[in-house]
């Protein structure tokens, strides 16, 4: 893999919002064990809250997913794989990130709803900045000189 290709893949997996529109992988191998990841995440998300007995299982799954993500990222960082394999690894990492986001958001609504809330907040901050920069932060027209 070329250096610029490696950097491109690392930028992709580090990009904010890279998981929007990405499906959680159907199955994934974590620590040598095949996991039905999508089924697990949807099973947990269907419930209003995570029962006390399931919390340990969810926390363990999140730890394993984070560990697997780090290991896969290291494979890309090492650059010892082909670009095609690196793309597959990057796709898997983004899928892992999507699953982690879903598990992290338990009890706070859907990931898409949270993304929309964040986008709305970003837009509001941007508009407030523009108003202030243009001298229209009081809601009235900009007054020039006296």
More confident residue, 47 or 87: 87
Residues 119 and 65 in one domain: no
What is the secondary structure of 57-70 as a DSSP string? HHHHHHHHHHHHHH
Structural domain boundaries enclosing 66: 3-108
Determine phi and psi for 49, rounding to 5 degrees.
-135, 160
Burial of 115 (0-12, 13-18, 19+ CB in 10 A): middle
37 close to 25: Cβ distance less than 8 angstroms:
yes
Of 62, 32, 30, 31, whose CA–CA distance to 44 is shortest?
62
Residues 10 and 62 in one domain: yes
Query: What's the structural domain count of the chain?
Result: 2
- pTM of the complete model: 0.65
For the residues 23-36, what does the mean pLDDT come to?
84
pLDDT band, residue 112 (cuts 50/70/90): low
In this predicted structure, what is the pLDDT of residue 137? 53
Residues 114 and 140 in one domain: yes
Chain-centre distance of CA 21, in angstroms? 10
Residues 103 and 46 in one domain: yes
What is the distance between the alpha carbons of residues 80 and 143, in angstroms, rounded to a whole number? 61
Residues 101 and 138 in one domain: no
Of 37, 29, 36, 34, whose CA–CA distance to 68 is shortest?
29
Residues 31 and 48 in one domain: yes
> To 10 degrees, the CA torsion angle through 50, 51, 56, 62?
-10
- Model confidence at 29: pLDDT above 70: yes
For the residues 66-89, what does the mean pLDDT come to?
90
């Amino acid at each position: 893999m070329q250096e610029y290709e490696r950097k491109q893949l690392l930028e992709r997996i580090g990009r904010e919002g890279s998981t929007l529109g990405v499906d959680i992988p159907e199955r994934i191998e974590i620590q040598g064990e095949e996991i039905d990841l999508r089924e697990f995440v949807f099973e947990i998300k269907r419930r209003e809250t995570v029962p006390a007995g399931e919390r340990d299982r969810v926390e363990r799954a999140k730890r394993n997913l984070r560990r697997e993500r780090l290991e896969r990222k290291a494979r890309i960082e090492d650059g010892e794989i082909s670009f095609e394999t690196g793309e597959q690894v990057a796709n898997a990492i983004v899928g892992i990130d999507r699953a982690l986001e879903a598990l992290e958001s338990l009890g706070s609504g859907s990931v898409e709803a949270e993304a929309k809330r964040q986008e709305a907040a970003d837009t509001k901050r941007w508009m407030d900045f523009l108003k202030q920069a243009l001298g229209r932060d009081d809601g009235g027209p900009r007054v020039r000189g006296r």
